[in-house]
Amino acid sequence: METMTIESLIEEIISNLDKYNLDDCLQDIGENILHYMNAERCLFFLLEPGNEDLSFAKAVGDEPAMADVVRIPMGSGIVGEVAEECSPIVIPDVKDPSCKKKFADFGKMTPEIDEKTKSVLALPLVVFGSLIGVLEIQNLPAEMCTRASIRKLLPLVNIAAVSIPRRATDDSFVKLAEIAVRFLEEKDEYTHGHSLRVMRYSMMLADKINLPIKEKNELRICSLLHDIGKVIIKDSILRKKGKLTESEFETIKMHCRIGANICSKISRPLARKILSHHERWDGKGYPEGLGENRIPLVSRIIAIADSFDAMTSARPYREKMQPHEALEELKRNAGTQFDPHLVEAFVVLYNEGLLDVVKV
């Protein structure tokens, strides 16, 4: 079976966000997870609004032998226990004597377990810090039943949880994207916190130039998501320590288009601004070679915040610059790479000492 990367799963889930049908959505998430985990079935239980029971919503893969309508009270069985504690439970082998006791404790009150069940991994589905349900994955290979693999799976499950339609709002998309961006950055010490810092620098610059509120709202989202397209670029290119080949660089450049494509599912104007965050004032940037005011203002702001953060962060191939050195670099490139008026405003921010407060 072809192995999928977590990155491609995330991309697939994000691109399917406009699916509003709960059943289709759970089917997609379930299939992805089965494929990724090499498991045989997964079951979704969702918390009933306004009460403490979980109700069975969907099975993907092998149908379990269970009643049509199953309700599990909070605290009972494996699913109820995961919901109550809001933490995963793993039972690598239901026949193993060391698991047996645990399984027996849960088993007698657990209608989702049948004679075909060999192993169980149950995870809470959490959105905005509150529980919305439980995902139970059954019959997965032993190597997937480790703490390390659960840790790897959790961000994906969180993302899946946000995309469950009955919870989907504009806000939840931003939250989802935030999780995806964090997930992307956490894998690499060199980009850790980059998107959040770019958002903070961008918002400060927006305040300084009195950007209208509507554009400020767009800027907040776009600056956070500007590099989200990198989520599907291979680690071997993204994290390469040496010099990139020309074709590798071309691949990295694609993150603008990929990011715009992902975000276009939500809003075309936002997508446009993400597309243009690597354009240059002199028209020599990418992907379209736009110049001056043809580049959206939001993208011009992000370009400055992005470069300042990149220069003041260490990279595998160079030391980090001091803020005053990075500022000199921005000034040197005002009017060629960057919008000169925005650089002026950024210099004022620096002189006021405001940039120092940005720490992630």
Provide the minimum distance between the beta carbon of 155 and Fe ion in the complex, in angstroms, as a whole number.
20
Residue 91 one-letter amino acid: I
CA dist 121 → 93, 129, 189 (Å): 10, 21, 30
Provide the minimum distance between the beta carbon of 253 and Fe ion in the complex, in angstroms, as a whole number.
9
Provide the minimum distance between the beta carbon of 227 and Fe ion in the complex, in angstroms, as a whole number.
4
Provide the minimum distance between the beta carbon of 122 and Fe ion in the complex, in angstroms, as a whole number.
37
233: CB partners within 8 A, 6+ apart: 7, 251, 252, 254, 255, 258
Angle between helix axes 6-15 and 22-37 (nearest 10 degrees) is 170
* Closer to Fe ion by Cβ: residue 227 or 339: 227
What the block records as the tokens of 260 is 């715009």
Residue 92: strand, helix, or coil = coil
Provide the minimum distance between the beta carbon of 228 and Fe ion in the complex, in angstroms, as a whole number.
9
* Closer to Fe ion by Cβ: residue 112 or 227: 227
CA dist 152 → 1, 125, 143, 148, 328 (Å): 20, 15, 13, 6, 41
Sign of torsion over alpha carbons 28, 7, 126, 200 = negative
- Residue 323, Cα to own-chain centre: how many angstroms? 29
* Closer to Fe ion by Cβ: residue 168 or 326: 326
* Closer to Fe ion by Cβ: residue 41 or 194: 194
Provide the minimum distance between the beta carbon of 230 and Fe ion in the complex, in angstroms, as a whole number.
7
DSSP for 219-276 reads HHHHHHHTTGGGGGS-HHHHT--SPPPHHHHHHHHTHHHHHHHHHHTT-HHHHHHHHT
* Closer to Fe ion by Cβ: residue 112 or 306: 306
Could you list the residues that contact Fe ion (CB under 5 A)?
227, 306
Provide the minimum distance between the beta carbon of 330 and Fe ion in the complex, in angstroms, as a whole number.
15
Residue 134: strand, helix, or coil = strand
CA distance 72 to 101: 21
The DSSP code for 314 is: -
* Closer to Fe ion by Cβ: residue 120 or 275: 275
* Closer to Fe ion by Cβ: residue 113 or 327: 327
E-assigned strands of 64-119?
Answer: 71-73, 89-91
Provide the minimum distance between the beta carbon of 310 and Fe ion in the complex, in angstroms, as a whole number.
6
* Closer to Fe ion by Cβ: residue 139 or 276: 276
